[in-house]
């Protein structure tokens, strides 16, 4: 097992190297010029040229790439072209809101979606099953920003139960923290709930047909015991896989959700950096997201061994 | 008070909650504050930050007249070649060091290397020297009557930094926002893209005169100004309605009718000048290297179509301005502007045919993420198509557009034919600051028009001794601009601001500033 973990961790190095090369090259080739953005709308072409030179953006690709890689190897993600702040510092400022949003969304989604899927499978063909699947279709179909605006209108503007926007750090108390996250988490969680509920239902339906479930029923096991102890445990591997894949959905969805609810997270940092062509920030955030994604996949793979003892690496 | 606000106030303790809220102004700025150096970037949001943090030697009042700010006053020698400035006593930087003439001199040098009016001024400066801690002197090669105005212009006044910071290369960003203005920047609360905070500077000594535009006493009446960047306009509108924010600098015009329904908010025009639209041709390549084709397009332009697209149907929200200088200012005139008053698509079609338009491809780049400029672009695209031109509209984000417009290549090799932008009225009110008018070829603003007469008139204006002479030259400039059309003026729209009713003493000003404003 440890050898496997070490192998997988080492395998992240070429993956990250490829991501680094890809991101750097893509940004190099993409249109846009931070010098022109910095100079402002009233600047002359000469101003733009001088700013470009002062930022070193007029140097050859290989020189810039090798300098960047050299800094990355030293653990330095560089400095934002615009703010002059270290990229590491800017990312650190934004991690907590995004992490909080993802954790709350994940908890909300799992606590709603799994019971929904289980109940839908148990009550297959009934109105409950149809209602759950109808909700799943809705969850997939309605974009996050539409749900976000609707929630904000009803629960913030009309009912005044939650704030419209913003984020309060956890250090300032649980209530202010969670208050700012409820609406964004519900908005972001819709797709995720739909996805997990559908997979849970499909997998449970398959498992509930198995002989050992019939045996459990014949032995007189209770319904909840059959559903949650015998069936759900055996249906867990595909569900966990989908949860892992869904984290990529969450990262993507967080960009929109953070914009709608003005949460100062990594998603907004990425969008702002892309719009301004703040290359060091884009590169730093994309590297971080790739690293997180590789780690999540590793975690999921390891989780399989606990959920299904037959799986060995 | 709304339910949730009441609950939160009760949890925080009534006196504490009300007190801190009343002393803090929560603002939604027009853009994200990404850089702190108003010399390094001309971004409006950085200029507004600069207004809070950095004091200015001179400034302008609501009428656009120059007034002393840090300066107690200045003396001009009889022949106009020597200006001696004296600073007010008691001025201090945020690190409590006194403001000295040497700080002003270093700051002026740095500013003059980047600011457009500063560069013009610098061509007339023979020497800038420190006389003592409170006095400094300009010695000029030739009289420059606009010296005090150049340093205090609302668009880009001289930000006075400590000498140690002002020594920074003007093309490098100053990292330390120490100034001597009425507010100090709270660097450790800055989260770019989300939040920026300023605190009242207790050591600031305001002038005694009442506030008048940017002039008069810059006394802070609130303890803190907190900017929260809310990128989505609908969310910002909601935050204003629920009272989560107190002031919204640039609300989207589309949302104004909704916001006006809420009796707790005020929607008013605070900025003293509107925003002027500009249709810019690329003068280097066909078809717009042909002045007759540029004129044909101008004949079809009806500014009202553009302004409705940007600011809505209500004519109170915009104004037609068929000259190159900011309307209702000293230089405003419409001499020779008949071409813009044609507003006739049939006549324009005939003129286009006569001009020899040969179906050359016209590439119009529109910024999809910039609602106002995008609207101007789409109106032009429609206009050019109705004229029968071969138009390709490229929708890009602003970051792509500002790079593409630097390209001098023809459209087949990634160039462009038409772009649009907007500028505040204070950027177009006099010839030296008017970038769109410059016609010095490769050194001109993007589009690179070339016309020796415009450049000559601009130089003559700078040496005009009398206001009447300056106005005459401005008339000649307008006439010539309408002949060569370096750009097509598209009129102006007002950009109102929104604030909660408990925000008090909001005054009209050429820039969004927060001194003088209180909160009950």
A287 in a structural domain = yes
Picking from B226, B241, B277, B403 by the largest number of A CB atoms within 10 A of its own CB, the best residue to mutate is B403
Is the ipTM of this structure higher than 0.90? no
For residue A228, pLDDT beyond 90: no
Number of domains present in the structure of chain A: 1
Of B32, B234, B242, the CB nearest to A160: B242
Q: Which of A82, A85, A174 to mutate to test the interface with B (most CBs of B within 10 A)?
A: A82
Domain ranges of chain B: 26-30+177-268+496-519, 57-166, 275-493
Minimum Cα–Cα distance from A271: chain B residue: B193
Q: How far is A223 from chain B (nearest CA, A)?
A: 43
Closest listed residue to residue B378, CA positions, set B388, B366, B370, B389: B366
Q: How far apart are CA A298 and CA B160, in angstroms?
A: 55
What is the model's pLDDT at position B362?
A: 97
- Which of A39, A80, A83 to probe by mutation at the B interface, max B CB count within 10 Å? A83
pLDDT for residue A84: 86
Tens of pLDDT, residue by residue over A154-168, are: 999 999 999 999 999
Confidence of residue A5 (pLDDT cuts 50, 70, 90): confident
B 152-171 residues with CB below 8 A of A? 155, 169, 171
Q: What mean pLDDT comes out for the span A49-71?
A: 86
Q: How many helices (H) and strands (E) does chain B have?
A: 17, 21
Q: Is residue A61 part of a domain?
A: no
Shortest alpha-carbon distance between residue B91 and chain A (Å): 28
pLDDT at B517: 96
> Least CA distance to B440: which residue of chain A?
A44
Say if residues A79 and A239 touch (Cβ distance below 8 Å).
no
- Give the pLDDT confidence score for residue B267 in this predicted structure: 96
For residue B249, the model assigns a pLDDT of 96
What would the pLDDT profile of B466-495 be if each residue is shown by its tens digit?
Answer: 889 999 999 999 999 999 999 999 999 999
Res B9: pLDDT = 56
Does residue B11 sit at the A interface (CB-CB below 8 Å)? Answer: yes
Shortest distance, CA B242 to any CA of chain A (angstroms):
7
Tell me, yes or no, whether A27 lies in a domain: no
pLDDT tens digits along B274-317: 999 999 999 999 999 999 999 999 999 999 999 999 999 989 99
How far lies B216's CA from each of B86, B137, B207, B509, B511, in Å? 17, 24, 6, 12, 14
Nearest to B234, CA basis, from A111, A205, A262, A23: A262
- Facing B235 at nearest CB: one of A37, A51, A260: A260
Separation in Å, CA of A39 to nearest CA in chain B: 5
Q: What is the pLDDT of residue B227?
A: 96
CATH classification of the domain holding A167? 1.10.3720.10
Search chain A and give the residue with CA nearest B442: A45
Does the beta carbon of B20 lie under 8 angstroms from any beta carbon of chain A?
A: no
List chain B residues with CB under 8 Å of A261.
Answer: 235
CA distance B55 to B42: 17
In the prediction, which pLDDT does B129 show? 97
For residue range A85-135, what is the model confidence (pLDDT) as tens digits?
999 999 999 999 999 999 999 999 999 999 999 999 989 889 999 999 998
Helices (H), B243-344: 256-260, 291-300, 303-311, 338-341
Measured over all CA atoms, what is the biggest interatomic distance in chain A, rounded to whole angstroms?
A: 85
Beta carbons of A264 and B427 less than 8 Å apart: no
Answer whether CATH 3.40.50.720 is correct for domain B275-493: no
Residue B479 Cα, gap to closest chain A Cα (Å): 23
Say whether pLDDT at A298 is over 90: no
Residue A14 covered by a domain: no
Q: How far apart are CA A172 and CA A152, in angstroms?
A: 23
- pLDDT for the residue B2: 60
Residue ranges, chain B, pLDDT below 50? 13-18
Taking one residue from A and the other from B, the number of pairs with CB-CB distance under 8 angstroms is 157
Q: What is the pLDDT of residue B20?
A: 64
For chain A, say whether B261 makes contact (Cβ under 8 Å): no
Mean pLDDT of A10-33: 84
Q: Can you tell me the mean pLDDT for A76-85?
A: 89
Domain with A214 in it: 93-312
Tokens standing for B199?
């605190």
* Helix (H) or strand (E) run with residue B76 in it: strand B71-76
Contacts of residue B444 in chain A, CB cutoff 8 Å? 44
The whole-number pLDDT of residue B15 equals 46
Q: To which CATH superfamily is domain B26-30+177-268+496-519 assigned?
A: Periplasmic binding protein-like II (3.40.190.10)
The verdict on B235 touching A (C-beta cutoff 8 Å) is: yes
Residue A21 lies in a domain: no
Instruction: Report the alpha-carbon distance of residue B276 to residue B278 in Å, rounded.
Output: 7
Selected residues 297-336 of chain B with any CB under 8 Å from a CB in chain A: none
Which residue of chain A has the CA closest to B12? A176
Of A36, A93, A164, the CB nearest to B402: A36
| Chain A hits for B193, Cβ within 8 Å | 264, 268-269, 272
Closest C-alpha among B54, B58, B89, B69 to residue B201 = B54
Please state the φ and ψ torsions of residue B248, each to the nearest 5 degrees.
-125, 120
pLDDT of residue B16: 46
Q: Do B42 and A260 touch (CB under 8 A)?
A: no
In a domain, A56, yes or no: no
Class of domain B57-166: alpha beta
Question: Residue A51: which of B171, B238, B421 has the nearest Cβ?
Answer: B171
Q: Which residues of A touch B406 (CB under 8 A)?
A: 33, 36, 45, 48
Helices (H), B387-448: 398-404
| Closest to B181 (Cα-Cα) out of B164, B165, B205 | B205
């Amino acid at each position: 097992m440890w050898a496997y973990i070490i192998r997988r961790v080492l395998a992240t190095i070429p993956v990250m190297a490829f991501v680094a090369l890809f991101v750097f090259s893509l940004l190099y080739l993409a249109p846009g010029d931070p010098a022109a953005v910095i100079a402002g709308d009233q600047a002359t072409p000469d101003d733009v040229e001088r700013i470009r030179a002062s930022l070193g953006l007029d140097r050859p690709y290989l020189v810039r790439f090798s300098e960047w890689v050299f800094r990355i190897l030293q653990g330095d993600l560089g400095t934002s072209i615009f703010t002059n702040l270290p990229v590491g510092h800017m990312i650190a400022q934004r991690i907590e809101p995004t992490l909080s949003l993802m954790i709350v969304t994940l908890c909300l989604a799992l606590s709603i979606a799994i019971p929904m899927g289980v109940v839908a499978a148990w009550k297959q063909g009934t109105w409950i099953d149809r209602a759950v699947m109808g909700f799943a279709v809705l969850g997939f179909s309605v974009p996050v920003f539409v749900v976000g605006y609707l929630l904000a209108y009803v629960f913030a503007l009309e009912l005044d139960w939650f704030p419209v926007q913003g984020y309060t750090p956890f250090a300032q108390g649980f209530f202010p923290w969670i208050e700012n996250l409820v609406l964004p988490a519900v908005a972001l969680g819709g797709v995720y709930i739909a996805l997990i509920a559908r997979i849970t239902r499909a997998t449970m339906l398959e498992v509930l047909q198995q002989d050992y479930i019939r045996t459990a029923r014949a032995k007189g096991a209770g319904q909840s015991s059959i559903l949650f102890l015998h069936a759900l445990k055996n249906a867990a591997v595909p569900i966990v896989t989908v949860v892992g894949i869904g984290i990529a959905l969450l990262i993507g969805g967080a960009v929109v959700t953070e914009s709608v609810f003005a949460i100062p997270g990594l998603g907004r940092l990425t969008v702002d950096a892309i719009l301004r062509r703040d290359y060091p920030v884009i590169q730093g955030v994309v590297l971080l997201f790739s690293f997180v994604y590789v780690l999540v996949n590793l975690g999921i793979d390891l989780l399989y061994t606990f959920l299904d003892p037959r799986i060995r690496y | 008070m709304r339910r949730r606000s009441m609950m939160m106030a009760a949890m925080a303790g009534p006196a504490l909650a009300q007190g801190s809220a009343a002393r803090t102004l929560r603002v939604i700025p027009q853009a994200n504050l990404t850089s702190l150096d108003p010399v390094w970037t001309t971004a409006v949001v950085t200029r507004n930050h600069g207004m809070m943090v950095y004091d200015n030697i001179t400034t302008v009042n609501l009428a656009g007249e120059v007034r002393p700010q840090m300066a107690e006053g200045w003396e001009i020698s009889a022949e106009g070649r020597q200006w001696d400035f004296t600073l007010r006593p008691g001025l201090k930087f945020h690190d409590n060091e006194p403001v000295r003439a040497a700080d002003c001199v270093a700051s002026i040098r740095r500013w003059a290397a980047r600011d457009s009016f500063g560069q013009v001024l610098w061509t007339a400066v023979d020497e800038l020297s420190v006389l003592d801690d409170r006095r400094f002197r300009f010695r000029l090669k030739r009289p420059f009557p606009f010296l005090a105005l150049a340093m205090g212009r609302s668009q880009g006044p001289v930000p006075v930094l400590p000498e140690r910071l002002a020594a920074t290369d003007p093309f490098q960003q100053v990292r330390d926002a120490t100034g001597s203005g009425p507010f100090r920047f709270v660097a450790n609360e800055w989260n770019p893209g989300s939040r920026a905070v300023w605190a009242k500077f207790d050591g600031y000594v305001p002038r005694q005169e009442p506030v008048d535009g940017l002039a008069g006493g810059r006394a802070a009446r609130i303890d803190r100004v907190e900017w929260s960047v809310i990128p989505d306009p609908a969310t910002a509108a909601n935050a204003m309605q629920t009272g989560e924010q107190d002031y919204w600098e640039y609300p989207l015009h589309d949302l104004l009718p909704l916001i006006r329904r809420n009796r707790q908010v005020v929607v008013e025009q605070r900025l003293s000048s509107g925003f002027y639209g500009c249709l810019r041709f690329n003068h280097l390549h066909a078809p717009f290297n042909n002045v007759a084709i540029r004129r044909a397009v101008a004949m079809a332009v009806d500014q009202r179509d553009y302004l409705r697209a940007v600011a809505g149907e209500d004519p109170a929200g915009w104004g037609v301005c068929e000259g190159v200088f900011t309307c209702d200012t000293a230089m405003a005139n419409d001499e020779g502007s008949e071409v813009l008053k044609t507003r006739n698509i049939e006549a324009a079609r005939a003129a286009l045919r006569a001009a020899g338009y040969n179906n050359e491809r016209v590439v119009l780049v529109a910024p999809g993420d910039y609602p106002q400029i995008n609207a101007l672009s789409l109106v032009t695209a429609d206009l050019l198509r109705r004229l029968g031109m071969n138009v390709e509209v490229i929708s890009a984000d602003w970051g792509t557009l500002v790079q593409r417009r630097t390209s001098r290549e023809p459209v087949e090799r990634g160039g462009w034919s038409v772009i649009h932008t907007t500028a505040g009225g204070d950027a177009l009110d006099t010839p030296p600051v008017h970038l769109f008018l410059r016609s010095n070829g490769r050194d001109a603003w993007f589009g690179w028009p070339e016309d020796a007469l415009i450049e000559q008139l601009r130089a003559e204006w700078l040496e005009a001794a009398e206001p009447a002479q300056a106005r005459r030259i401005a008339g000649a400039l307008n006439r010539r601009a309408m002949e060569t059309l370096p750009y097509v003026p598209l009129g102006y729209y007002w950009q109102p601001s929104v604030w909660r009713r408990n925000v008090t003493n909001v005054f009209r000003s050429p820039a969004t500033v927060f001194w003088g404003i209180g909160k009950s």
